[in-house]
Structures are given as C-alpha cells and as structure tokens.
C-alpha cells in the first residue's frame, strides 16, 4: 500500500497555528468583525438584563397590594430586552456572514491553487479521493470554527462574567464562589474528556479519507474491476476501512454520551447548591422572592450556554482535526518554483538545447546520464528507444515538471530554470501518449488548448486533426459529453482531440509523445501527414516507439538505458547497423508477421 506524504501527522500540528492561519481572513474585514463584536456585546447585555426585569416584576407582584403601573413598566422592559437580545444576535450573524463565506472561499482557492503548484511527484503519489475529502471537511470546519469561536465561546464567557459581577455586587459572595467553582470543574472535565476523545475523531477522519480514496479509485477503474470480476474484492477492501471507521464512530458516540452525562451532573450539583443557599436566604428574610427567581433565572441562563460551551469546544476541536490535513497540504513545499523576479521566456527561433543533462526521480534510481543534443529552430528531432530508455522523461523535463539534477536545458539560450513556468509551458504544445480528457464536452476539451479562442478557430483545429466529421456525426455534435477521463471516446478519438487541442494552442515548440499510438494504420497515415504539416516552421520533438513514424525526421536520437547511443538520419542509422537498425529489423518483421494471418484468411 502506498503511504500518503502530503502532510504532517495531525497530532504534530498545533491548534493555535491553525487558528493563526485564519487571522488574515478576519483582518480583511476587520470593520465587519468589530461591528459584529459590538452587536454581540449588546445582545449579551440585553440578555443579562432580562432576569433583572423579571426580579422587579416578581417583587412588585409579591406585595400585598401590587401597583399595576410598576409591573407593567417592567413587563414591557422584559419583552423589549428579550427582543433586543434576539435582534442584536441576528444582526451580528448577518454582518459576519460575508466574513465567514469569504474565508471559506479564499482558503479553498488557496489550497486548490497550491495543489496545482506542487510538482508532478506529489500528484503521482497523492490519493485523489482522500485529498478531496480532506479539503471538503477542512473548508466546512472553517465556517464552524469562525462562527463558534467568536460568537459562542466569547459571548458565553462575557455572559458568565456579567452574571458573576451582578451576584458579587448584590448578593452573598458564596453565590459567586459556587458559580466559579462549578465553571472551573465543568471546564476542566470537558477539556480532559474531549482531548481523550480526539483520537477517535482522528481515526474516523483517516478511515473516512481512506474509504473515499478506495471508492474513487475503484470507480475510476470500473472497467478493470469488471475485466477481472473483482467486485466483491473491491467491496471487501472498501469495507475494511468502513469497519475501522464504524468502531471509532461508536466509541466516539459512546464517549460523547458519557461526557454529556458528566457535564449535566456538574451543572445539576451547582444549581442545587445555589438554590439551597437562595431558599435559606429567602426564609431568613435577607432575600426576596424576586431574588430567588433572579438567581434561578441566571442559573438557567448560564447553564444553557455553559452546556453549549462544552458542545462548542468539542466541535471546535473536531473542526481543527478536520482542518489539520487540509492545512497540511498547504505546508507541502512546491518542488519546482520560479525564482524571485524570474522573467518570462522569450521565444524567437525556438532552439532547444540539452547540455549534459543528468536526472534521477530518486537518488538511487538515475534515469538520464549526460544527455546532450540540440534541436535547431524549425526542425524535427525524433527520440526512439526501448521502453524505459528515458524518452518520455525528456518531455517532462522540458515542461519543467521536474528540475534536472545535473546539466541544463536551454530554449533560445535561456535556461528554463531562470524563467517563469507559465511562460515556458505557454510556448510548448504536446500531444501525449495517454490522453486524459475533462468530464465535459468535446468543444470544451479542444478549446482547453486556448480558452479564449473563437468557435471558428476551435472547429478549424478539429478539422486539422481529422475529427470534425466524426464530431458532426454525433447527435449533440460539439456539445457531446466525453465522460469521466474521456471514457466515452475511443483511444483514437481521444488522441485526435489532443491533437486538435495542441493545434489550437499554436505553440512555437511541439512535442509528440507517441502521438499516433492509439490510431489504426489508415488513420495513422492521415494524421502523420497532418502532423508533418503542423510541425512545419516549428521546433518539434517526436518521442516514438514505432520507427516508421519518424523516418522523415531531420535527426533521430536513439536512447538506451538513459543514454544517447546513436544519432543521425534514418538512412545513416540503418547504414551504421547498430541498435536502431536492429530495432528497425524487428519492427519490420513484426509488421510482416502481423499480415500473415490476414493473408491466410483470404
């Protein structure tokens, strides 16, 4: 099983570091945040004043002949305060909504952009399903974290402080001490149990990502699963992760029930002690019935947010756990970076020069050894060799998916490491061997080569790739959806779309990486002629396995085990009677052998 390397272990990431990551998004809307905090304080002041109005109503009605006017005044005040606490709370949420949603959007865009900036090495090792689930959970956790930290923990603490101040000023110090003692025991118990429970949440997250990875991978390889009748095998693999997730989820839920029960017991003990003290004071005549109602109302008022505080703390910890892997992605360093102030590549003639290039994907496995060659402007250079010789690595290095480990690559005399990656890749077009299309329309996939191209230019590119007539024969024509990874099209059709896309891009430099490998012989000859026309006046690098496709190249390089072993034209290499001539003879024999069964049938 391949291990994910895209982030540090969750337990190593500091929660405060995650919170600090979000602070710039709050600072962008600091005036909104300030207004929201003012509204928050007004809502809490109104909420704390409600029991005071209730006390005066009870005391006024507790007299032998209550004055009607006095209670009515406090009744109206009671209603107004109730409404004010709700109104200010709703206004606060409305003011802060833009802050939360903008933060979610900005972080999601930052992660998305960062993923595209990471090297090909990262994307070859990543697990798509797990990464997508990590981002989904992380962005969802941002909204919860911002809202609940600012508008639940802070106001709850403010409310507890205001209530404690009122109790200290107006009543026996014992009332305030009981409130503080209950609060301290409650918070300590909540913190201890919640930290213990976090291991279950992390396990759930890991297994959720792993299960999603396996599901996505299995569905993307649907045909392979069917070829080998491995539906039950895939189901078992998926269930392996779900079983661990289920066990962690059950333990998470049962431990939550224990936490809630413990919190309720602590609150109940505190409320009972307070009511006992208040009842004794009423009997002794040192407190009125209104005071008893006031203290009871405050206890209920504190109990609800305090109980909710435990829930909020748990959920904030869960949100931080959900965000850990997403922010871990942001900590993965891009392997290939533009140098500060790097200029754009200036392509005039389009000369490509490899100078003593060495390259290794990893230190123990070197791929290229002292590779040197020049592709003159407007000429076609072909690279051939057995599988694993290092041919396709040349195109990856030219696109700067990796940096060379030795030597350098120049385009028109400019080291490609010294220019911006965007300008470098804008100057190069490629028709890859394995064409993967977006799950969108044929038109979208062709236009992807130059998104601002007109419809006429897109159709002209399709004609150049000999795919226009096929597209027009489809019911939805250019609006035909190609399916996931282009699975609704054949290999040859996908490759023609790739050719059309490269034609539309209209680059100075072209790379054909086995560009006709998925085509039949008839189509191959037609496309070869078109590729030759497209390559005119462009610097072209052709990577090929079938030697018959490169016989007209201006020069042919023969690679073997990461080294250039022969170089010359097709005729020169045949006359040399080396590796190229041996490969040519083998392929000619294979072609002859391939015709024999057909001749026998006739």
User: Is there a contact between 273 and 313 (Cβ–Cβ < 8 Å)?
Assistant: no
End-to-end CA gap in the chain: 51
Mean pLDDT, residues 104-127 taken together: 71
Which of 545, 475, 532, 476 is CA-nearest to residue 499?
532
CA pair distance 576, 23, nearest whole angstrom? 68
- Domain spans, the chain: 10-330
pTM value > 0.75: no
Segment 336-359, tens digit of pLDDT = 788 888 898 898 888 899 999 999
User: Is there a contact between 376 and 401 (Cβ–Cβ < 8 Å)?
Assistant: no
Segment 16-29, tens digit of pLDDT = 666 676 677 677 77
Mean pLDDT, residues 243-253 taken together: 82
Question: Of 125-139, 217-231, 323-337, 368-382, which has the strongest mean pLDDT?
Answer: 368-382
Does the pLDDT value for residue 267 go beyond 60? yes
Question: Of 34-48, 485-499, 540-554, which has the strongest mean pLDDT?
Answer: 540-554
Name the helix (H) or strand (E) containing 559: strand 555-560
Angle of helix 30-61 relative to helix 154-170, nearest 10 degrees, comes to 40
CA pair distance 260, 31, nearest whole angstrom? 37
Contacts 24+ apart (CB under 8 A), 284-287: 287/171
Comparing 1 with 517, the larger pLDDT belongs to 517
Q: Sorting pLDDT into bands at 50, 70 and 90, what band is 282?
A: confident
Segment 410-442, tens digit of pLDDT = 999 899 999 998 888 888 888 887 777 888 888
Q: Sorting pLDDT into bands at 50, 70 and 90, what band is 602?
A: very low
CA pair distance 546, 384, nearest whole angstrom? 8
DSSP-assigned states of every residue in 522-546: HHHHHHHHHHHHHHTTSEEEEEESS
CA pair distance 501, 189, nearest whole angstrom? 62
CA pair distance 6, 132, nearest whole angstrom? 13
Does the pLDDT value for residue 120 go beyond 70? no
The 8-class DSSP code of residue 3 comes to P
CA pair distance 480, 372, nearest whole angstrom? 45
Mean pLDDT, residues 446-455 taken together: 87
Mean pLDDT, residues 374-400 taken together: 86
User: Is there a contact between 311 and 394 (Cβ–Cβ < 8 Å)?
Assistant: no
Helix, strand or coil for residue 303? helix
The per-residue b/e assignment along 534-558, b for 16 or more CB within 10 angstroms, e otherwise, is bbeebbbbbbbbebebbeebebbbb
Which of 53, 13, 28, 312 is CA-nearest to residue 134?
13
Does the pLDDT value for residue 8 go beyond 70? no
Mean pLDDT, residues 246-266 taken together: 83
Q: Sorting pLDDT into bands at 50, 70 and 90, what band is 5?
A: very low
pLDDT at residue 33 in the model: 76
Mean pLDDT, residues 524-544 taken together: 77
pLDDT at residue 67 in the model: 54
Does the pLDDT value for residue 96 go beyond 60? yes
Mean pLDDT, residues 196-224 taken together: 76
Mean pLDDT estimate for the chain = 78
Helices H / strands E in the chain, number of each: 19, 10
Question: Of 263-267, 290-294, 588-592, which has the strongest mean pLDDT?
Answer: 263-267
Cα angle: 340, vertex 342, 346; to 5 degrees: 175
Question: In three state form, how does the secondary structure of 441-474 look?
Answer: EHHHHHHCCCCCCCHHHHHHHHHHCCCHHHHHHC
Segment 26-82, tens digit of pLDDT = 777 778 777 877 887 788 777 777 777 777 677 666 666 555 555 666 677 777 777
Topology of domain 10-330, per CATH?
A: ABC transporter transmembrane region fold (1.20.1560)
Radius of gyration in angstroms for the set of CA atoms belonging to the chain, rounded to a whole number: 36
Mean pLDDT, residues 270-295 taken together: 80
Q: How many CB atoms lie within 10 A of CB 250?
A: 11
CA pair distance 90, 39, nearest whole angstrom? 9
pLDDT at residue 149 in the model: 67
DSSP-assigned states of every residue in 153-216: IHHHHHHHHHHHHHHHHHS-HHHHHHHHHHHHHHHHHHHHHHHHHHHHHHHHHHHHHHHHHHHH
User: Is there a contact between 535 and 350 (Cβ–Cβ < 8 Å)?
Assistant: no
The per-residue b/e assignment along 40-65, b for 16 or more CB within 10 angstroms, e otherwise, is bebbbbbbbbbbbbbbbbbbbeeeee
DSSP-assigned states of every residue in 226-256: HHTT-HHHHHHHHHHHHHHHHHHHHHHHHHH
- Token digits for 45? 């002041």
């Amino acid at each position: 099983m391949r291990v994910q390397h895209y982030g540090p272990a969750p337990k190593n990431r500091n929660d405060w570091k995650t919170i600090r990551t979000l602070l710039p998004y709050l600072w962008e809307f600091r005036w909104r945040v300030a207004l929201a905090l003012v509204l928050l304080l007004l809502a809490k002041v109104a909420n704390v004043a409600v029991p005071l109005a209730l006390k005066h109503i009870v005391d006024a009605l507790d007299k032998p002949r209550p004055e009607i006017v006095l209670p009515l005044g406090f009744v109206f005040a009671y209603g107004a305060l109730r409404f004010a606490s709700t109104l200010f709370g709703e206004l606060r949420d409305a003011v802060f909504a833009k802050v939360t949603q903008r933060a979610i959007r900005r972080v999601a865009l930052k992660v998305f952009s960062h993923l595209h900036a990471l090297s090909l090495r990262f994307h070859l090792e990543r697990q798509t399903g797990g990464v997508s689930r990590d981002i989904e959970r992380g962005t969802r956790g941002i909204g919860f974290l911002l809202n609940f930290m600012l508008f639940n923990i802070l106001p709850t603490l403010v409310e507890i402080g205001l209530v404690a101040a009122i109790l200290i000023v107006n009543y026996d110090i014992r009332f305030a001490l009981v409130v503080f003692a209950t609060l301290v025991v409650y918070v300590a118990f909540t913190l201890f149990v919640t930290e213990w429970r976090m291991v279950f949440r992390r396990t759930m997250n890991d297994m959720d990502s792993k299960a999603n990875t396996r599901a996505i991978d299995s569905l993307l390889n649907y045909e392979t699963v069917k070829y080998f009748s491995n539906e039950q095998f895939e189901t078992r693999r998926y269930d392996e992760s779900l079983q661990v997730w289920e066990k962690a989820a059950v333990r998470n839920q049962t431990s939550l029930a224990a936490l809630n029960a413990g919190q309720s017991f602590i609150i109940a003990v505190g409320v009972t002690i307070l009511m006992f003290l208040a009842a004794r004071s009423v009997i002794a005549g040192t407190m009125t019935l209104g005071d008893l109602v006031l203290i009871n109302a405050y206890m209920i008022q504190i109990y609800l947010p305090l109980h909710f505080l435990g829930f909020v703390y748990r959920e904030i910890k869960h949100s931080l756990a959900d965000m850990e892997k997403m922010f871990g992605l942001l900590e993965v360093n891009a392997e290939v970076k533009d140098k500060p102030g790097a200029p754009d590549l200036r392509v005039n003639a389009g000369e490509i020069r490899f100078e003593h290039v060495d390259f290794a994907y990893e230190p123990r496995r070197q791929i290229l050894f002292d590779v040197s060659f020049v592709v003159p402007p407007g000429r076609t250079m072909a690279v051939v060799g057995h599988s694993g010789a290092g041919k396709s690595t040349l195109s990856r290095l030219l696109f700067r998916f990796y940096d060379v480990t030795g030597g350098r690559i120049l385009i028109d005399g400019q080291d490609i490491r010294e220019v911006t990656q965007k300008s470098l890749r804008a100057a190069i077009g490629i028709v890859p061997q394995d064409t993967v299309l977006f799950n969108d329309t044929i038109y979208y996939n062709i236009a992807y080569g130059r998104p601002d191209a007109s419809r006429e230019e897109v159709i002209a590119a399709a004609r150049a790739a000999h795919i226009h007539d096929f597209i027009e024969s489809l019911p939805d024509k250019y609006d035909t959806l190609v399916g996931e990874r282009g699975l609704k099209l054949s290999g040859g059709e996908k490759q023609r779309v790739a050719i059309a896309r490269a034609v539309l891009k209209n680059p100075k430099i072209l790379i054909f990486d086995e560009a006709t490998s998925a085509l039949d012989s008839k189509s191959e000859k037609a496309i070869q002629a078109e590729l030759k026309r497209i390559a005119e006046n462009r610097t072209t690098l052709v990577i090929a396995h079938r030697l018959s496709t490169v016989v007209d190249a201006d020069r042919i390089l023969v690679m073997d085990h990461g080294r250039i072993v022969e170089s010359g034209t097709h005729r020169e290499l045949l006359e040399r009677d080396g590796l190229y001539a041996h490969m040519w003879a083998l392929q000619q024999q294979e072609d002859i052998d391939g015709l024999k069964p057909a001749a026998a049938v006739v």
